Chain A
Amino acid sequence: MTATPTLDQKPAGPPPAGFGLDGKRRRLADRAFKLAAMASGLSVLAILVLIAVSTSQKAGPALRDEGLGYITGSRWAPNVDVFGALAFISGTMIVSAIALALAVPVSFGIALFLSEFAPRRLRQITIYVIDMLAAVPSVVFGLWGLIVLAPWIVKVYDWIADTVEPIPVLNVLFGQPVTGRSFFTAGIILALMITPIVTSLTREVFDTVPTGQKEAAWALGATRWEMVRGAIFPHSRSGMIGAVMLGLGRAMGETIAAALVIGSSARLTLHLFGSGDAMAAVIANQFGESGGLHRSALVAMGVVLFAMTIVVNMVARAIAGKTVSAAPVRGRR
């Protein structure tokens, strides 16, 4: 006769789930793990604080020297210790604007395609194409842009410049003399680079539209495009803006591709087919040789760029909420 277990008898079976330890040691191990996790979290804080302290310390001298003139001055002359970053801030904004103007319609189109228009096989192929675009490192984009795109696209610029010669505003933006290593070429390269991220973020936003809304549109007899306009866009507007802003943030921080094709010319200008410079590219090009106040000015430029990126990301977050994040997860496909 098998003895029925009574309450004061330990049942046979696996030990309690606690590392095989019991009581105090188990609680200690648990505690240790929690502390390790907390310490890791704090490390993020620590690194960021370190970055903030170290960069503002280094940037201090130049910013104090120039004051507000650092941002409003357009003369950048390291040999006489005059540092006005306006030309570069403007350059960054111009290149980013071009990149957005080119990338955003295309990205929205691709996202719509993946979300609503594509038959299943084409959808898969398109996803591969976008992944491939995201996989190309920025320096390879720069290499191709410098050696292949720039020499070829000069002819296009030339033709456009000659065509818009008589038109008032356009001939300032697109007039002669044109050069392959210019704002516009850098904008094209950056557009290619930010397309994957804007596309994938926008697509995630489109996918959150409740099917009920879409079906309601169908039920009313809408064409596919009308369904998109009526059900998807209104629901996704804030998410789309957020995606665009995150693309902007990415374009502003892009260093290497821009450095290779932008032309490295420190002037305040709106001539899109002419050379210019952008903040990140200037830092990369001039940091090695800089010392003293010059180096401080370059670190200050990094701080300004960082601040601008933070603002853009915060605005994105505010508009789009949690639906878009700066570090998108592409887990589900």
Chain B
Amino acid sequence: MLRSNSGMVKVAALAVALALGAAACGSGDNTGTGTGSGTKLTGTLKGSGATFPKGFYEVAIEAFGTVQPGLTIEYPGGGSGTGRQNLQDGVVDFAGSDGLVKDEDKPKYKGEFLYFPTVAAPITVSYNLGVKDIVLDADTIAKIFQRQITRWDDPAIKTHNPGAKLPSTDIVVAHRSDGSGTTENFTKYLVAAAPNTWTLKAGSTVEWPADTQAGNGNAGVASIVKDTPGAIGYVDLSDAKATGLTFATIVNKSGKPVKATLDAASAALANATVNADLSYNPLNADGDTAYPITAPTWILAYKNQADPAKGAALKAFLTYVLTDAQDLAAVVDYAKLPDGLRQKALAQVDAIVVPAA
């Protein structure tokens, strides 16, 4: 198994980022409560959920550990579905989720919860073929993932890639086996951008056609694409780059082919309308430079915290993620939040009610 050079560079950059983050975070007290020195927090905060932002959360938690060394934060991933269910069960203190909770599920939670947007990133359509910079549009993607297009040299793909030498390899479709916010956002994009072609609807689980493969977490899908010639799958940018995958250029709503980059993601974010509960939808955004499959992600937490220590820790962590940690996002290939959204999120952190110790 060859490790691509870009993968090694990414690893090195990540290590440098961690060092810088650690150095920078000792000083500098941005807005928010308790981020800097001052109250020393202890204990353990447990989280679980989306693997989409996991690359960012891990780096943020590591950097936060230099500010609050007494506080341990666990985030093993598991998928948005697991995170939401764990929060319902009360097994974790916060959940990562790329998707919103359905209205009929809200009563199952132990109380009112809040959405805290943290970062956003492109969902890449990664593939394993010797060809670089394949261009695809929503209809073609829909047909590929519905197994209506089964070979790489299909005419539909050729029309978007006139100059490319496409082999006749079979396409192997990789998707998620677990309940996934990435799946939800990917299928929501297809519903919005290819409404007449995509029939499988949107959701964290989808009834994929036969003859497809499934992986656990974004990393699992990345694994399949990496190991299987002819494979195609949807993976967040961070995991795709760290695994050394090639990903497609997607034709956006304005008809322009856009590569999956952080700038293109930020362009998509800039136009998104933010709702009162801080949910927003940057998928299939308007704008010539917007990347059409830019996905949001949130941390869900209960508004009324039961434990004073955990409540304080949660507020401090959220504040950190929305302030200092935003600068780390780009290094691990996540787009930081636009400033307006970020300020609203910070204001919402103050809305968390922590009982007096």
Which A residues have a C-beta under 8 Å from some C-beta of B? 75, 77-79, 150-151, 176-177, 179-181, 263-265, 267, 269, 274-275, 285-286, 288-292
Determine the distance from Cα of A241 to Cα of B79 in the docked complex, in whole angstroms. Answer: 43
The distance from the CB of B293 to the nearest CB of chain A, in whole angstroms, is 21
Chain B residues contacting A180 (CB-CB under 8 Å) are: 227
- Give 19 new A-B contacts, CB below 8 A, not counting A265-B214, A288-B178: A77-B205, A79-B203, A151-B227, A181-B213, A264-B177, A264-B213, A264-B214, A264-B215, A275-B212, A275-B213, A286-B177, A288-B79, A289-B80, A289-B81, A289-B84, A289-B85, A289-B204, A291-B85, A291-B108
Given A181-B213, A289-B82, check contact A79 B204 (CB 8 Å).
yes
Q: Is the CB of B211 within 8 A of A177?
A: yes
The distance from the CB of A253 to the nearest CB of chain B, in whole angstroms, is 20
Q: Is the CB of B216 within 8 A of A285?
A: yes
Determine the distance from Cα of A286 to Cα of B81 in the docked complex, in whole angstroms. Answer: 9
The 8 Å CB contact of A288, one of B86, B108, B170, B205, is: B86
Q: Is the CB of A267 within 8 A of B210?
A: yes
The 8 Å CB contact of A289, one of B179, B214, B224, B227, is: B179
Determine the distance from Cα of A180 to Cα of B178 in the docked complex, in whole angstroms. Answer: 20
The proximity string for B residues 55-89 relative to A, scoring 1 for CB distances below 8 Å and 0 otherwise, is: 00000000000000000000000111110111011
Determine the distance from Cα of A292 to Cα of B211 in the docked complex, in whole angstroms. Answer: 29
Determine the distance from Cα of A77 to Cα of B179 in the docked complex, in whole angstroms. Answer: 11
Interface of A is mostly: loop
Task: Name 27 A/B residue pairs within 8 A (Cβ), A-sorted.
Answer: A77-B205, A77-B207, A78-B179, A79-B205, A176-B170, A177-B172, A177-B211, A179-B213, A179-B228, A180-B227, A263-B213, A263-B214, A265-B212, A265-B214, A269-B210, A285-B216, A286-B179, A288-B48, A288-B78, A288-B82, A288-B178, A289-B78, A289-B80, A289-B179, A290-B81, A291-B85, A291-B108
Chain A residues contacting B207 (CB-CB under 8 Å) are: 75, 77
By beta carbon, the residue of chain B nearest A146 is: B223
B330 within 8 A of A: no
Chain A residues contacting B179 (CB-CB under 8 Å) are: 78, 286, 289-290
Determine the distance from Cα of A177 to Cα of B211 in the docked complex, in whole angstroms. Answer: 8
Chain A residues contacting B215 (CB-CB under 8 Å) are: 264
Q: Is the CB of B216 within 8 A of A289?
A: no
Chain B residues contacting A263 (CB-CB under 8 Å) are: 213-214
B354 within 8 A of A: no
The 8 Å CB contact of B206, one of A79, A177, A286, is: A79
Which residues 173-222 in B have Cβ within 8 Å of A in the complex? 177-179, 203-207, 210-216
The distance from the CB of A244 to the nearest CB of chain B, in whole angstroms, is 31
Determine the distance from Cα of A291 to Cα of B108 in the docked complex, in whole angstroms. Answer: 10
Chain B residues contacting A267 (CB-CB under 8 Å) are: 210
Residue among A75, A264, A275 with the highest chain B CB neighbour number at 10 A: A264
Which residues 210-245 in B have Cβ within 8 Å of A in the complex? 210-216, 224, 227-228
State the 6 A-B residue pairs at the shortest beta-carbon distance, nearest first. A289-B81, A264-B177, A264-B214, A288-B82, A289-B82, A289-B179
Given A79-B206, A289-B78, A290-B85, check contact A274 B211 (CB 8 Å).
yes
Residue among A267, A274, A275 with the highest chain B CB neighbour number at 10 A: A275
